[in-house]
Structure 1
Amino acid sequence: MGNSENENLSVVLYKRREEKPQCDIVLENRPVREPAGDEVVLKMNSVGICGSDVHYWLNGRIGDFIVKEPMVIGHEAAGTVVRCGKDVKHLKPGDRVAIEPGYPLCSDEFSKSGRYNLSPVYFCATPPDHGNLQRFYTHKGSFCHKLPDNVSFEEGALIEPLSVGIHACRRAQIGLGHRVLICGAGPIGLVSLLSAKAMGAASIVVTDLSSNRLDKAKELGANFTYQIKLDEKPQDVAKKIEEILGGMPDRTIECTGAESAVQTGIYATKSGGCLLLVGMGPQNVTVPLVNAAVREVDIKGVFRYCNTWPTAISMLASGQINVKPLVTHRFPLEKSQEAFEYTRDGKGIKVMLKCDPEDQGA
């Protein structure tokens, strides 16, 4: 039961009441979309819950992306190919794949130069595009990446957040011997930590308000952690970081979006270094821009990722990066509401939903 494409249980956000921003989480059977020539149908296995998924549930929007029509949620995912379109040659039924949830919709200057994340894209669970938290899902074949036998479905699903860390560390040009500050020990801060270590960072300090999250950062290999106090001034935090690392960080990866953390990042980063902004905060923030300018601290941003899945798969298969400790809770698809509540309440690090009723394990 539950394994037929006729029973395509899906997790759908419904915006029912204008006066209330929160959407309803509804479980319903949805038709499986027939694959175009360049698409594949996947039997889904593991889908991680991301902070953006929870944001859409609670607020019905992120910026200009608004849930108007019912939308299938979910974008951190892996599954098994069950059918291929006629033009798909690199995959066959039975192949286990990780899904890259965004793909360019046109061949513009960005996609031609390899920066396809800057092109207009289809992106799972970003209105009006449906996500993949369902029993079966149809996706562009060239954005389904085959998993080696020693990489699990859950690791495949975690490539999506890991890709944010890889792309961020590439943009920051983290290299051998660098001192690195990572602001925020949520999932994105932790995958940035794993990526920075793999790229040769010699000394990494992770900051957060939560001692539990900092404990996880230590478990994953942070050399140092520092618990921020709410009333601390950014300059004082920067001084503390310099003391802990034995020098100012060459690179700072800011994963919180908090104005105070961005300010800390500028004050903390070594002259000639780089502050990389990953966290999404308010549209406008007040920052000591002149301090960065006169010290030639580069400030860069990221938008998702590009060209990261092959790298991530190689790193996971070789054991150079281990994302398994990030998964702290698992729920069957039928308990999606509870899983979203766990994530909302900050319980654990990464909550994983299991879509295949015959495979509920890690």
Structure 2
Amino acid sequence: MCPYWLSLCSGAHVLLSQCPRRLIFIQGTFSPFLAEVLLRMHSVGICGSDVHYWQHGRIGDFVVKDPMVLGHEASGTVVKVGSGVTHLKPGDRVAIEPGVPREMDEFCKSGRYNLSPTIFFCATPPDDGNLCRYYKHSASYCYKLPDNVTFEEGALIEPLSVGIHACKRAGVTLGSKVFVSGSGPIGLVNVIIAKMMGAAAVVVTDLSASRLQKAKEVGADFTIQVKNETPQEVASKVESVLGCMPEITVECTGVQACIQAGIYATRSGGTLVLVGLGPEMVTVPIVNAAVREVDIRGIFRYCNTWPVAIALLASKRINVKPLVTHRFPLEKALEAFETTKRGEGVKVMLKCDPTDQNP
């Protein structure tokens, strides 16, 4: 067990392995005079970053120095509203956008608030997340869910937003040929969004046959199980199944060899978007990309995606329900984290409301 301390709630700092069955009920203190809402949490998905913080205590420059509540893929029900809140009321079901700007800086003014260096973000040190019974959050970053969108779909808007942001940055459009590297949850949402945005063909690579099968279920046209191929050989296989080199590659693993394959695979003049985060320093064939004018773009989380995602879910243009493969009550958080760590299934969902364990 990693020695780093985690907290399931404010004031009850425990090692996850020692988490008692009785959990304290609220993270933070509700301030009725602010533009905040108090939420009774319902569904919280476990992200790879949650597991990484649990196991290693850091991701890049974000280091866990004090007890921290995990969880940032979430939905819940409004219990109380601050005096400045007008668009929500008690009883409203909402999806939570975990990133909230702390100040109106140049990035917020330009509509790219995700790049603000002072942004609050759930479960990113030193900011607590929302894996708890009750949680308060900025009302402006809580979005009412239509009646035909479930709590779990609401929680899945967070990873879905990564796909929306990545595909927008990549320029996916009608007729695009797209290569998605990696068939984990983020790879899968990129498949879903790329197809929704009009991609004519999407090919997905992964080591896991079961995950590639899931990619087919959510809309991938072709899959390639990678074994011991070189990056150039992977690129050649991608071109072979598509019948051409893809204009767009979305790299969702962060693995050096996969980034290399992404550069080799992308058509001259195309775009490679780096979504997965791996080592700080990687070796890539940058000259190959440069002389072929392959644009390499990064993404950092997302911005302005919740209204789009809710509209897509409500209209049934996309279906994310197959992504949830495991469900656990909050009391079994350790078991849920262990399941995610082992790579079982796709998305593990924790159910925080003991009176409602439904999707």
Residue 160 of structure 2 is matched in structure 1 by 162
Structure 2 residue 249 is matched with structure 1 residue 263: no
2:110 to 83, 108, 113: 113
SS of residue in 2 equivalent to 1:89: coil
Residue 54 of structure 1 is matched in structure 2 by 51
User: 5+ residue gaps in structure 2?
Assistant: 1-7
Structure 2 residue 65 is matched with structure 1 residue 72: no
Residue 123 of structure 2 is matched in structure 1 by 125
Residue 26 of structure 1 is matched in structure 2 by 19
Residue 4 of structure 2 is matched in structure 1 by none
- Deviation, 1:11, is 9.0
Give the Cα separation in 2 of the matches to 1:343 and 1:311: 28
For each residue in 1:104-139, what CA deviation from the matched residue of structure 2 results, as whole angstroms up to 9, or x when unmatched?
111111001100000121000111111001110000
Q: What is the one-letter code of the residue matched to 2:261?
A: T
Residue 288 of structure 2 is matched in structure 1 by 291
Q: Superposition pairs for residues 93-108 of structure 1, below 5 Å? A: 93-108=90-105
Structure 2 residue 308 is matched with structure 1 residue 311: yes
Q: Superposition pairs for residues 1-362 of structure 1, below 5 Å? A: 10=9, 26-27=19-20, 28-29=23-24, 31=26, 33-35=29-31, 36-119=33-116, 120-229=118-227, 231-362=228-359
SS of residue in 1 equivalent to 2:143: strand
- Deviation, 1:29, is 1.3
Identity between Structure 1 and Structure 2 (%): 66
- Deviation, 1:15, is 8.5
Contact 2:24 2:133 in 1 (8 A): no
Give the Cα separation in 1 of the matches to 2:321 and 2:298: 27
Q: What is the one-letter code of the residue matched to 2:254?
A: G
CA-atom RMSD, angstroms?
1.7
Contact 1:194 1:220 in 2 (8 A): yes
Query: What is the TM-score when the length of structure 1 is the normalising length?
Result: 0.93
Contact 1:11 1:336 in 2 (8 A): no
Q: What is the one-letter code of the residue matched to 2:348?
A: V
Query: What is the TM-score when the length of structure 2 is the normalising length?
Result: 0.94
SS of residue in 1 equivalent to 2:80: strand
For each residue in 1:129-184, what CA deviation from the matched residue of structure 2 results, as whole angstroms up to 9, or x when unmatched?
11001110000000000100000000000000000000000000100001000000
Contact 2:17 2:334 in 1 (8 A): no
Give the Cα separation in 1 of the matches to 2:185 and 2:152: 14
- Deviation, 1:361, is 1.5
Give the Cα separation in 2 of the matches to 1:30 and 1:317: 31
- Cα distance change, pair 313–12 in 1 and its aligned pair in 2 (3 A): farther
- Deviation, 1:199, is 0.4
- Shift >2 Å, 4+ stretches: 9-16, 23-28
- Deviation, 1:13, is 9.6
Which range is displaced more, 296-305 or 30-39? 30-39
Contact 1:76 1:159 in 2 (8 A): yes
- Deviation, 1:26, is 3.2
User: 5+ residue gaps in structure 1?
Assistant: 1-8, 17-22
Contact 1:14 1:24 in 2 (8 A): no
- Cα distance change, pair 249–38 in 1 and its aligned pair in 2 (3 A): same
